[in-house]
Structure 1
């Protein structure tokens, strides 16, 4: 347990009377460090977010409590789950901590270091994030910090996806119509993904998350940030021009990205509409893949056949052809 005599936060310490053993640091944000840890009671890995309170203001503490309350109310496959919370004393100062689901995979930022994603993979990613946003938006919650760092790829395969994507970090989320707490440090750190209304310092609604997700998707398929640079530079750029959508992107992407990154909030679609559009793009890309395989193998499959069945038929046909060829070769020999 931390005590007044503990000089730094180090690995090997424990929280909640030894239940959570803290390991290596996974990341660090404006107000907290995140550590890999182990829940000794349930024998499972967890992530612990430990808030740094060296110079915490009253608003900082209020934001911490609000994040804990928000996460405690939210349960969705597309959100990192909160398991527990508590407090620990370090050098005479009380620190709040969160115990969360541990996601062993990479962030979208990590994925993009290898280059841009295929449009169909970006559509699968975006549909999952939009579903999570739809869930929180119906509860009048705005995330306000949609960016690649906050999108985690889990090792769980479900709902037709090889990896579930989880949305994390509700540190600056707020309720629509609720009191606004200024946090310039958190905002300046994510200048590339701010909506125009955020850049202007206006009141934001759920539409701001849609704009930010549009910029993330654009970055995912191009491999570059549309509005790079510092807060002022990035803010001025988005107030004077719309994002450039590459002409080589499949046609269905153009109206979607244009609407998501419309400068006026009221011109943007709702999260559930974005999810439906992206899922349609993803599905159509799978159908096109089946048609290409079918064409190569000379298959004729009805339009209404499920793409997965068509792929299985294609694989079976190819295997059968190979077996026949081997048999003919054996008998001929």
Structure 2
């Protein structure tokens, strides 16, 4: 399938505007002709649809996302396959990815940073309570609406706790700049790995740079393991520096015990 404006998926979802494209596939705005509403459709690259591993991950994203109902998580509406193309149907969020906001105007004001981090932490808590570890928390996977509502998205490499992984043992999945030390070492991600990644996001929002960003992905991953993060500037309130610093602890036991604890600490700042 070559998706184009006007393409109808499963005789229901009519593609209207391409919103984003990458190696994994495309995201389109579409019209749900049954319920007469606008939705977002995420199409897996047809070449990847033929690879069982990628298709399994895509289906897993649908299952994981469909299990989560939270105001700070993008709602999964449907999953389908049409003419060799697998697709997800989600609520269409009018806003910007946090990565774009950071690129355009970071460092962000502390109140805005705290608000977005708190909402993202609440989203992670809901996922973790549902037994789901995200494993790829980063600014590109946090959408922010014009009125400041943050929504976590892209559970494409998430894993239901207690289920068999869809990856080979020792394979590292995630984005190097946001990988926890344990993930960098090829160990399994846990809820506290997501908390570490959210700490990296907070650091980046406040400074316009990532704490670890070496010349190669391997060097960046090793920096998470071996190097202390640069100190946040004194212009950041001490209580916020403490929360971010705790989230970035090398030892998972040194991080907030859960995302709800991190959200509470941010709310008390």
Name whichever structure is richer in helix by fraction: 1
Match of 1:203 in 2: 188
1:30-83: CA deviation from partner (whole Å, max 9, x where unpaired): 423111112233332210011123144222221122111111211110100011
Aligned-partner Cα distance in 2 for 1:245–1:42: 51
Q: Aligned in 2, Cα 1:247/1:211: closer, same or farther, shift over 3 Å? A: same
1:118 is the counterpart of 2:104? no
Match of 1:84 in 2: 78
Match of 1:37 in 2: 30
Match of 1:272 in 2: 260
Aligned-partner Cα distance in 2 for 1:164–1:273: 20
Aligned-partner Cα distance in 1 for 2:176–2:248: 15
SS in 1 for 2:210: coil
1:70 is the counterpart of 2:57? no
Match of 1:100 in 2: 90
SS in 1 for 2:81: strand
Q: Aligned in 2, Cα 1:167/1:186: closer, same or farther, shift over 3 Å? A: farther
Q: Is the 8 A contact 2:121 2:263 kept in 1?
A: yes
Q: Please, which runs of 5 or more residues in structure 1 have no aligned partner?
A: 1-5, 156-161, 282-333
1:144 is the counterpart of 2:131? no
Runs of 4+ in 1 over 4 A off after TM superposition: 183-186
Q: Give the alignment partner of residue 170 of structure 1, picking from 155, 160, 164.
A: 155
SS in 2 for 1:172: coil
Aligned-partner Cα distance in 1 for 2:167–2:18: 28
1:14-43: CA deviation from partner (whole Å, max 9, x where unpaired): 1121x2111222223442311111223333
Aligned-partner Cα distance in 1 for 2:126–2:20: 26
Match of 2:223 in 1: 237
* Aligned-residue CA RMSD (Å): 1.9
Q: Is the 8 A contact 2:67 2:130 kept in 1?
A: no
1:289-311: CA deviation from partner (whole Å, max 9, x where unpaired): xxxxxxxxxxxxxxxxxxxxxxx
Taking structure 1 as the reference length, the TM-score comes to 0.75
Aligned-partner Cα distance in 2 for 1:154–1:115: 17
1:234-280: CA deviation from partner (whole Å, max 9, x where unpaired): 11211111212324111101221121011111211110001111112
1:312-333: CA deviation from partner (whole Å, max 9, x where unpaired): xxxxxxxxxxxxxxxxxxxxxx
Match of 1:226 in 2: 211
Aligned-partner Cα distance in 1 for 2:188–2:263: 25
Aligned-partner Cα distance in 2 for 1:30–1:255: 38
SS in 2 for 1:54: helix
Aligned-partner Cα distance in 1 for 2:232–2:66: 40
1:261 is the counterpart of 2:252? no
Q: Please, which runs of 5 or more residues in structure 2 have no aligned partner?
A: none
Name whichever structure is richer in strand by fraction: 2
SS in 2 for 1:28: strand
Cα distance, 1:209 vs structure 2: 0.2
Q: Is the 8 A contact 2:81 2:87 kept in 1?
A: yes
1:182-202: CA deviation from partner (whole Å, max 9, x where unpaired): 3899836x2111111111101
Q: For the pair shown, which has the larger CA radius of gyration, 1 or 2?
A: 1
